[in-house]
Amino acid sequence: MSKFETTQNHKMINEKYDFIEQWLPVHYTSSVNMILKGDMRPPEYVRQVKNKKIYDEKIIDALYKVALFNKLQMGT
């Protein structure tokens, strides 16, 4: 049972990264830090999480929110 949950979790993370890659704007680190507010991270670390696909749930969620907002702004 735990393998299924891990596989499902891994699949969901991959889907988030695919969405992030497709819709994240060029300049995104300041937007991510605005979402994180009290738990701000250096821009280098945010870019590292995105580019090297490091598992940091807070950063991934913030990247996803920025990408979703960008998608909504684009109107598609």
b/e per residue 27-58 (b: at least 16 CB within 10 A): ebbebbbebeeeeebeeeebeebbeeeeeeee
pTM confidence score? 0.85
Provide the residue range defining the domain that includes 30. 2-74
Q: How many domains are contained in the chain?
A: 1
Residue appearing with tokens 């990247």: 63
One pLDDT digit (tens) per residue for the chain, 76 residues: 345 456 777 888 889 999 999 999 999 999 999 999 989 999 999 999 999 999 899 999 999 999 999 999 988 6
